[in-house]
């Protein structure tokens, strides 16, 4: 893959990042207008605007992390976010509820800020078949039951159900070393978590909640209605943009099942907050005053961006190609390895879209990550690419990798799985039914 192609990929990802970060802004700007027209103190406007500014900067900072580094620390960040939600055990009781930590002049609703991180962290752990995903969501939901916070409980339950629906469906094993019993027991785990979180959300709704409604928080839509039908329509449109912001983030990788799933999960979470605001006395996210939901919105988008950034960017250096085509380079740096040339460079007279002529002898730099997309390579080069990739992935310590070959008639899948069945680094493998094969590697 040429440096020019990598640069286009980075530009595309950054474009959709900024589009998704801009999507919540109409709700925030409309909220500021409604606050100012209601003669609320300037301090309220400044806090809401300041929270949005800080949220955008935080999201941009999270998205700048290298993917491999971010994924390495994400499980610990998710655990910390979950435990911070539980610190409200020690908070003052306010109207029969313990949802806020009082920090100086600020009341921080921890769950509204950090539950998106817990949810996305759990989703990523589940996709990687790592332990603790369901436990994190169940523990967070138990905290919501104690507080009680039916709004966040409903939102988390909606996100977990979305994850269970979009989670990978394990197929029958295609390698004798993986038992049928093991495969069949992998899927129900998160459906169990979805049912448990939904049940806990129901129980949270049954707990008494005597907090009074605040006009510019829970009643903000009534304020919009007082300003006229056109303002109400604008408010609904702004909330729809909040819902689709995660979908906009993953739009460039819509064919990537994991990216698509995580985007849907975050959208389901925000749909849950809106359902809670509609059915009960809970804040309308981003429209109603509250710095915590604003931070939660942007922190969620930042984590999502870091998780779904194009893998061809991770650790790549398009200006420093390796010297030997089709072999591991002696100058290898971490994930960067030289692999076979892409399909577009098979013929010397093949023209690129901008009129440049592809050089078939040009070495190709590809990062070794947890997945590889074979669509970039010539069919005749795929066997050597797959073999080289498996060796390097095992050397770097990956236990499970995804080889994307597409659906089609299954010819490429059969070629890939034939290689996997004979490769010394492969412990087992199976098709995910979505155009790729998952391979479990032996420990190096």
For residue 279, pLDDT beyond 70: yes
For residue 184, pLDDT beyond 70: no
What pLDDT score was predicted for residue 311?
54
Q: Residues 279-297: what's their mean pLDDT? A: 91
- DSSP structure class, residue 16: H
Query: Mind giving me the DSSP string for 36-89?
Result: HHTT--HHHHHHHHHHHHHHHHHHHHHHTS-HHHHHHHHHHHHHHHHHHHGGGG
Q: Which residue, 191, 134, 169, 163, is CA-closest to 260?
A: 163
What pLDDT score was predicted for residue 168?
61
For residue 335, pLDDT beyond 90: no
Mean pLDDT of the chain, nearest integer? 80
Q: Scan for tokens 């809106």, then name that residue.
A: 274
* pLDDT tens per residue, range 226-269: 999 999 999 999 999 999 999 999 888 777 788 889 999 999 99
For residue 135, pLDDT beyond 60: yes
Residue 322 — pLDDT band, cuts 50, 70, 90?
A: very low
Q: Residues 277-306: what's their mean pLDDT? A: 92
For residue 353, pLDDT beyond 50: no
Name the residue with higher pLDDT: 396 or 286.
286
* pLDDT tens per residue, range 59-103: 999 988 888 889 889 999 999 999 999 998 888 777 778 888 888
Q: Residues 362-374: what's their mean pLDDT? A: 72
What pLDDT score was predicted for residue 365?
57
Give me the CATH topology for the region 318-441.
Ribosomal Protein S8; Chain: A, domain 1 (3.30.1370)
What pLDDT score was predicted for residue 325?
38
Q: Cβ of 331: how many Cβ atoms within 10 Å? A: 11
- Residue 181, SS3 per DSSP: helix
Chain-centroid distance of CA 434 in Å reads: 19
**How open is the CA angle 84-87-93, to the nearest 5 degrees?**
140
Residue 333 — pLDDT band, cuts 50, 70, 90?
A: very low
What pLDDT score was predicted for residue 189?
63
What pLDDT score was predicted for residue 146?
92
For residue 180, pLDDT beyond 50: no
What pLDDT score was predicted for residue 271?
96
Report how far apart, in Å, the C-alpha atoms of 256 and of each of 217, 285, 402, 416 are.
37, 29, 11, 19
Burial of 363 (0-12, 13-18, 19+ CB in 10 A): middle
- Residue 436, SS3 per DSSP: strand
Residue 169 — pLDDT band, cuts 50, 70, 90?
A: low
What pLDDT score was predicted for residue 103?
84
Q: In 117-213, which ranges are E strands?
A: none
For residue 10, pLDDT beyond 80: no
Name the residue with higher pLDDT: 414 or 4.
414
The whole-angstrom separation of Cα 262 and Cα 160 is: 11
Instruction: For residue 40, give every residue at least 6 positions away whose Cβ sits within 8 Å of its Cβ, in sequence order, or none.
Output: 216, 289
CA dihedral 246→66→77→110, nearest 10 degrees, is -40
What pLDDT score was predicted for residue 8?
38
The whole-angstrom separation of Cα 97 and Cα 248 is: 35
The two structure tokens encoding residue 373? 């997309």
Segments of the chain assigned to CATH 3.30.1370.110: 318-441
For residue 357, pLDDT beyond 70: no
Name the residue with higher pLDDT: 97 or 1.
97
Q: At what angle do helices 110-127 and 133-146 cross, to 10 degrees?
A: 160
Residue 378 — pLDDT band, cuts 50, 70, 90?
A: confident
For residue 328, pLDDT beyond 60: no
Q: Cβ of 103: how many Cβ atoms within 10 Å? A: 8
Instruction: For residue 225, give every residue at least 6 positions away whose Cβ sits within 8 Å of its Cβ, in sequence order, or none.
Output: 231, 232
Residue 366 — pLDDT band, cuts 50, 70, 90?
A: low
């Amino acid at each position: 893959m040429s440096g020019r192609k990598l640069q286009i990929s980075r530009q595309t990802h950054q474009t959709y990042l900024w589009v998704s970060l801009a999507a919540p802004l109409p709700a925030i700007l409309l909220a500021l207008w409604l606050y100012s027209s209601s003669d609320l103190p300037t301090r309220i406007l400044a806090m809401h605007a300041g929270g949005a500014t800080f949220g955008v900067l935080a999201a941009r900072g999270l998205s700048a992390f290298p993917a491999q580094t971010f994924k390495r620390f994400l499980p610990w960040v998710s655990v910390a976010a979950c435990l911070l939600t539980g610190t409200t055990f020690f908070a003052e009781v306010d109207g029969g509820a313990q949802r806020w930590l009082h920090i100086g002049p600020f009341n921080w609703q921890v769950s509204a800020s950090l539950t998106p991180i817990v949810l996305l962290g759990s989703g990523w752990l589940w996709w990687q078949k790592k332990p603790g995903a369901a436990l994190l969501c169940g523990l967070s939901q138990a905290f919501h039951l104690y507080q009680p916070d039916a709004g966040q409980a409903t939102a988390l339950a909606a996100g977990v159900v979305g994850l269970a629906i979009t989670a990978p469906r394990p197929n029958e094993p295609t390698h004798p070393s993986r038992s049928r019993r093991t495969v069949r027991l992998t899927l129900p785990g998160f459906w169990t978590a979805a049912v448990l979180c939904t049940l806990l959300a129901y129980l949270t709704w049954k707990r008494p909640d005597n907090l009074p409604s605040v006009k510019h928080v829970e009643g903000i839509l009534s304020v919009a209605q007082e300003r006229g039908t056109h303002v109400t329509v604008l408010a609904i449109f702004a909330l729809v943009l909040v819902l689709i912001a995660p979908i906009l983030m993953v739009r460039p990788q819509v064919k990537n099942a994991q990216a698509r799933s995580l985007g849907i999960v975050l959208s389901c979470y925000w749909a849950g907050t809106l359902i809670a605001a509609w059915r009960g006395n809970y804040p309308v996210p981003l429209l109603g005053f509250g710095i915590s939901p604003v931070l939660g919105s942007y922190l969620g988008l930042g984590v999502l961006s870091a998780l779904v950034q194009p893998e061809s960017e991770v650790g790549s250096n398009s200006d420093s190609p390796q010297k030997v085509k089709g072999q591991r380079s002696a100058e290898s740096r971490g994930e960067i390895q030289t692999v076979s040339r892409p399909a577009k460079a098979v013929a010397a007279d093949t023209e690129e879209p901008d009129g440049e002529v592809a050089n078939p002898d040009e070495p190709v730099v590809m990062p070794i990550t947890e997945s590889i997309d074979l669509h970039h390579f010539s069919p005749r080069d795929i066997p050597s690419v797959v073999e080289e990739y498996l060796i390097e992935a095992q050397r770097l310590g990956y236990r499970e990798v995804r080889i994307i070959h597409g659906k089609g008639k299954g010819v490429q899948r059969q070629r890939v799985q034939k290689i996997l069945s004979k490769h010394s680094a492969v412990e087992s493998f199976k098709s995910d039914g979505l155009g790729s094969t998952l391979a479990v590697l032996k420990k190096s």
